[in-house]
A and B are shown apart, each in its own frame.
Chain A
Amino acid sequence: GQQLNQSPQSMFIQEGEDVSMNCTSSSIFNTWLWYKQDPGEGPVLLIALYKAGELTSNGRLTAQFGITRKDSFLNISASIPSDVGIYFCAGFSSGSARQLTFGSGTQLTVLP
């Protein structure tokens, strides 16, 4: 099946720093989504990307759909304590009957 390689697996950063994480795939995706999951909660959709090369922002978050359609990155600027959580990328390809393929997640810890 399709797989997404998400990195890094975990990150420890100082409050105020910027952070970047990415997902890559060996196959083409038509849609990239980024989710955040807080402890004990379900994932919450942060950003959706539908076009290769698309760059979309949501507050301090910026995500891009790679030109090759095989990768995406998420940047968080000026991190704050509430950014702590697990960030998942997810991709959809036309051959997967509306199923999303999820990355393994990036655990973000923000140190005061």
Chain B
Amino acid sequence: GAGVSQSPSNKVTEKGKDVELRCDPISGHTALYWYRQSLGQGLEFLIYFQGNSAPDKSGLPSDRFSAERTGGSVSTLTIQRTQQEDSAVYLCASSSLAGGHEQYFGPGTRLTVT
């Protein structure tokens, strides 16, 4: 079946511009996660959606970062007024309640802020 998909795969933007990154989770997965991975580093948790519950935004690094999940499926991560330190790979993952804590990742969006 289809896995987690993300778009775009690469995004180059100028400092100060806003960007939107999209994630399509695995069909039927109720939980969706966003992570950030800087070059050569581990995964930094950003935000977590579970069903219709209020999202856990505890990992968002600043108020320039926000995310939405419409209809319990597709999610968009928005970064406003991008800074060079926002350059990283942004990974999305999804999981199902029946699947324990196994998260399945998309290929990521590589963001470069010039």
A residues neighboring B (CB under 8 Å): 31, 33, 35, 40-45, 48, 50, 88, 90, 92, 97-100, 102-105
Contact = CB atoms under 8 A, between A and B. Distances in A.
Nearest to A48: B102
A99 B48 contact: yes
A98 B101 contact: yes
B102 A42 contact: no
B71 interface: no
A88 B43 contact: yes
A60 to B, nearest CB: 21
Given A41-B107, A42-B91, A42-B107, A100 B41 contact: no
Contacts of A92: 101
Classify the interface of chain A: helix, strand, loop or mixed: loop
Given A48-B100, A50-B100, A41 B108 contact: yes
B45 A99 contact: yes
B50 A98 contact: yes
Q: B interface, how many residues as a size bin?
A: 20 to 34
B25 interface: no
Given A33-B101, A45-B102, A102-B43, 14 more contacts: A33-B103, A40-B107, A40-B108, A41-B107, A42-B4, A44-B105, A45-B104, A48-B100, A98-B48, A98-B50, A99-B48, A100-B103, A102-B42, A104-B42
Contacts of B95: 98
Contacts of B106: 42
Given A42-B91, A97-B56, A98-B50, A31 B100 contact: yes
Contact of B43 (A31, A43, A48): A43
Nearest to B104: A45
A39 B50 CA distance: 29
B100 A45 contact: no
Interface string B49-62: 01000001000000
A112 to B, nearest CB: 24
